[in-house]
């Protein structure tokens, strides 16, 4: 398997270097990734890897392939959240929770890149606590009438399919809202501290008539579906965190070996050497735990609690690594065009989305009977 994984990694590297790296600076200035990249990624086989082959996917349930693609996005200093949400989150829901008719309607486009997918949970008054969701869907004949607002939606502008969490009569339900649905509109593009090329915006639903045929699974079962999907989503975030921490450490080690101060490389000063040794140890531990969690996910044994541990610990480590590495770069690290400054900015949101660190610890605490 190692050779197969390595071949796939090299394919990802080649694709990203040819089709994304030369244009990424412009996408960051624009605040959005060109849709053409999605089409090229689909043609290369990098979208819908877990989707059955009859719908255009690779039919590969092994999460390792998703992790490799995310890692190579990070290593190439490219924007990752949109692809992670599309591949690792929404495509999984559409593969495992949909009817045959829905699969035929949506999955081929998700795999080809013709349809970009997003997930809409967060609201102005409902972040990590999905129980506070206020968006409502009222059944009227063969439609649901959707009213409410979502915010901080990754790929919110590019998205053709939005998996939307909404309150129905006796609980939460999941509806797919398609581009062009009457009553569905998007707010202005939100400017963020990091991930500049990740289009993020608010979504508005005003008497939005969504066909009942777009209901995912059973009505009022959305909470159970979300809880079942969270381990995969949080592991995806942890994958990005570990890859980013490894990348920042590698680049900082190179810098500390060559940057001179007081007649010697700054990495040879004992304080700096100890900081680098500590980071190297912690990043190694994070990688081992991540690989353990991926193996558990592949066998269906990754629990919500273990995923929460991976999510909070790796993302907090990413932020710590980013801060220490920027400090070691000194003034050069603070320059806007510096790779480490961009990594520092991109890192900060990792402890927030997908459930804040505080929510992760609350979940773990409850598992301890506290």
Q: What is the pairing mode between strands 143-154 and 117-120?
A: unpaired
Question: Using an 8 Å Cβ cutoff, are 82 and 9 in contact?
Answer: no
Distance CA 265, CA 259 (A): 5
Q: What is the CA radius of gyration of the chain?
A: 21
In 10 A of CB 312, how many CB atoms? 26
CA angle in degrees (0–180, nearest 5) for 72-76-81: 65
Among the listed residues 71, 157, 233, 246, the single catalytic one is 233
- Helices H / strands E in the chain, number of each: 12, 10
One-letter-per-residue 3-state SS of 210-256: EEHHHEECCCCCHHHHHHHHHHHHHHHHHHHHHHHHHHHHHHHHHHH
Structure tokens at 152: 């901080």
Question: Using an 8 Å Cβ cutoff, are 166 and 218 in contact?
Answer: no
In 10 A of CB 361, how many CB atoms? 14
Structure tokens at 40: 């090229």
How far is CA 69 from each of CA 172, 204, 285, 294, rounded to the nearest angstrom? 32, 32, 21, 14
Angle between helix 63-75 and 270-298 (nearest 10): 150
The DSSP 8-state label assigned to residue 22 in this structure reads G
Nearest partner of 137 among 236, 207, 237, 214, judged by Cα: 207
Residue with tokens 């804040």: 356
Q: DSSP readout, 248-284?
A: HHHHHHHHHHH-EETTEEGGGSHHHHHHHHHHHHHHH
Is 123 a known active-site residue?
no
- Residues annotated as catalytic are 233
């Amino acid at each position: 398997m190692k050779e197969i994984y390595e071949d796939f990694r090299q394919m990802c590297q080649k694709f990203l270097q040819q089709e994304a790296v030369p244009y990424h600076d412009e996408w960051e200035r624009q605040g959005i990734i060109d849709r053409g990249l999605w089409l090229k990624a689909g043609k290369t086989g990098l979208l819908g890897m877990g989707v059955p082959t009859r719908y255009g996917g690779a039919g590969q349930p092994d999460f390792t392939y998703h992790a490799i693609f995310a890692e190579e996005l990070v290593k190439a200093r490219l924007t990752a959240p949109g692809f992670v949400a599309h591949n690792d989150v929404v495509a999984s829901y559409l593969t495992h929770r949909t009817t045959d008719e829905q699969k035929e309607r949506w999955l081929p486009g998700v795999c080809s890149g013709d349809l970009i997918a997003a997930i809409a949970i967060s609201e102005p008054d409902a972040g990590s606590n999905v129980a506070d969701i206020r968006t409502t869907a009222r059944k009227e004949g063969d439609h649901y009438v959707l009213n409410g607002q979502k915010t901080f939606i990754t790929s919110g502008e590019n998205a053709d399919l939005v998996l939307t969490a909404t309150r129905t009569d006796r609980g939460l339900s999941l509806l797919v809202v398609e581009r062009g649905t009457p009553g569905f509109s998007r707010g202005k593009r939100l400017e963020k501290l990091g991930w500049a090329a990740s289009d993020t915006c608010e979504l508005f639903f005003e008497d939005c008539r969504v066909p009942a045929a777009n209901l995912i699974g059973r009505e009022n079962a959305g909470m159970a579906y979300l809880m079942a999907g969270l381990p995969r989503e949080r592991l995806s975030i942890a994958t990005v965190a570990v890859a980013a921490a490894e990348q920042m450490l590698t680049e900082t080690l190179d810098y500390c070996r060559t940057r001179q101060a007081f007649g010697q490389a700054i990495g040879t000063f004992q304080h700096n050497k100890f900081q680098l040794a500590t980071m190297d140890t912690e990043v190694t531990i994070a990688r081992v735990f991540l690989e353990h969690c991926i193996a558990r996910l592949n066998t269906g044994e990754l629990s919500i609690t273990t995923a929460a541990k991976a999510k909070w610990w790796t993302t907090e480590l990413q932020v710590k690594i980013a801060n220490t590495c920027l400090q070691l770069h000194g003034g050069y690290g603070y320059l806007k065009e510096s790779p480490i400054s961009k990594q520092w900015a991109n890192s900060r949101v990792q402890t927030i989305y997908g459930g804040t660190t505080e929510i992760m610890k609350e979940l773990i605490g409850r598992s301890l009977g506290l």
